[in-house]
Amino acid sequence: MTTFRAFQIDEKDNQIIGTLKALNLSDLCDGDVTIRVTHSTINYKDALAATGKGKILRRFPLIGGIDLAGEVIASTTDEIKIGDLVLVNGCGLSETRDGGYTELARVHKEAIIHIPNNMNPHQAMQIGTAGYTAALAINNMEHNGQTPKAGPILVTGATGGVGSVAINMLASKGYEVIALTSKTDKLDYLKNIGATEVLMRDDLDHGKRPLEKAVWGGAIDNLGGETLTWLTRTVKYGGNIACIGLAASHKLETTVIPLILRAINLLGINSVDTPRTLRKRVWERIGDDLFPKDIGLIAPKIINFDDLPNAFDAYIDGSVSGRVVVKIQ
């Protein structure tokens, strides 16, 4: 019987416990394709799941990790063949299905994307869900008419994975990018990955009027709360705000006035349930015009599988910038 290692999350006595343990293929969720996982990554959502700080898993036990990349070793579908290099991000991993923190994974074909030809599994996980989410936001903004000529794009939560990759992707496409952060020690980092200017959250005057001075051509927001409210009042006519996260708050208190008088567009971004056709299209763009050319600066760190259980607390306390890749095998 084939055994392999996985980081499995379980609930015992109302406590969330995540451990590296030996499993068998029969322990995995069902699926059309079996993948030898070589790389994964750590997202804030993974840290919430592994530590129990957030209610991410819908059932127990499950293998953690919302990302994976590796090589197909078994397949029951003609579309995906043995030896193919593939990735999976979102699609219920580490929520309703076993995730990517495992040496072997079994996944339904609808969730699988072939890694673009100019990328390897390590690069695919440097980008991962965070980079895919950034690309999905940009893709949807441009589908809705966003162009560099419309004005600067403000990226909030700029030092996080989504924010960092978004800055680099936007800059590579000719957008002027303004970064918003609370981390005073990351100014050089943000400018090196493409930000033309860095604003500090503590210095913001959010204002109180339904409409403030229109400054931004659009925005990618990871924070929610009063920052997102402020963005609705300061984006120019016809601009798009991609709403990605709620790191500051899940609340949004605003008026319809910016929607009516400035025709702004608030775009919700859901990276988990993206239809496969759109998911494939966005990954194709990541391998083409949206490839983050400075991904080595954004995701320079690799940790070994054995070190994974001790890596999550840094995400909870907010001390991590950029992306970290987990080398599974």
pLDDT at res. 124: 97
Task: Mark whether 134 and 262 lie in a shared domain.
Answer: yes
Length of the chain: 329
pLDDT at res. 205: 83
Helix (H) or strand (E) holding 169: helix 161-172
Contacts by residues 255-264 (CB-CB < 8 Å, ≥ 24 positions apart): 255/210, 257/210, 257/211, 258/210, 258/211, 258/232, 258/233, 259/232, 261/211, 262/211, 262/214, 262/235, 262/236, 262/237, 262/238, 263/237, 263/238, 264/232, 264/235, 264/237, 264/238, 264/239, 264/240
Asked if residue 39 has pLDDT above 80, the reply is: yes
Give the CATH number, domain containing residue 154. 3.40.50.720
Instruction: Give the percent of the chain with pLDDT over 90.
Output: 86
**Section 120-124 average pLDDT:** 97
Task: Mark whether 49 and 152 lie in a shared domain.
Answer: no
Task: Mark whether 104 and 154 lie in a shared domain.
Answer: no
**Four-residue CA torsion sign, 286, 289, 290, 294:** positive
Total domains in the chain come to 2
Task: Mark whether 37 and 161 lie in a shared domain.
Answer: no
If you average pLDDT over every residue of the chain, what do you get?
A: 94
Tens digit of each residue's pLDDT (9 = 90 or more) over 210-256: 999 999 999 999 999 999 999 999 999 999 999 999 888 999 999 99
Instruction: Report yes or no: 218 and 146 within 8 Å, Cβ to Cβ.
Output: yes
Asked if residue 1 has pLDDT above 60, the reply is: no
Q: What is the 3-state secondary structure (H, E, C) of 60-129?
A: CCEECCCEEEEEEEEECCCCCCCCCEEEEECCCECCCECCCCECEEEECHHHCEECCCCCCHHHHHHHHH
Strands 177-181, 197-200: pairing is: parallel
Asked if residue 111 has pLDDT above 80, the reply is: yes
Task: Mark whether 162 and 223 lie in a shared domain.
Answer: yes
Q: CA angle, 157 as apex, 152 and 158 as ends, to 5°? A: 60
Instruction: Report yes or no: 78 and 107 within 8 Å, Cβ to Cβ.
Output: no
Tens digit of each residue's pLDDT (9 = 90 or more) over 271-321: 989 999 999 999 999 999 999 999 999 999 999 999 999 999 988 887 777
Token couple for 274: 């993206």
Tens digit of each residue's pLDDT (9 = 90 or more) over 47-67: 999 998 888 989 999 999 999
Give the CATH number, domain containing residue 74. 3.90.180.10
Task: Mark whether 315 and 242 lie in a shared domain.
Answer: no
Task: Mark whether 134 and 225 lie in a shared domain.
Answer: yes
**Edge-first strand listing for the sheet containing 3-12:** 15-24, 3-12, 62-63
286 located within any domain: no
262 located within any domain: yes
Q: Which amino acid is at 208?
A: K
Task: Mark whether 305 and 222 lie in a shared domain.
Answer: no
Neighbouring residues of 287: CB distance < 8 A, sequence distance ≥ 6? 116, 117, 118, 119
pLDDT-derived band at 206 (thresholds 50, 70, 90) equals confident
Task: Mark whether 93 and 28 lie in a shared domain.
Answer: yes
225 located within any domain: yes
186 located within any domain: yes
Full domain range(s) for residue 162: 129-268
Does the global pTM surpass 0.85?
Answer: yes
185 located within any domain: yes
80 located within any domain: yes
252, 268, 284 - which closes a domain: 268
Rg of the chain over CA atoms, in angstroms?
Answer: 20
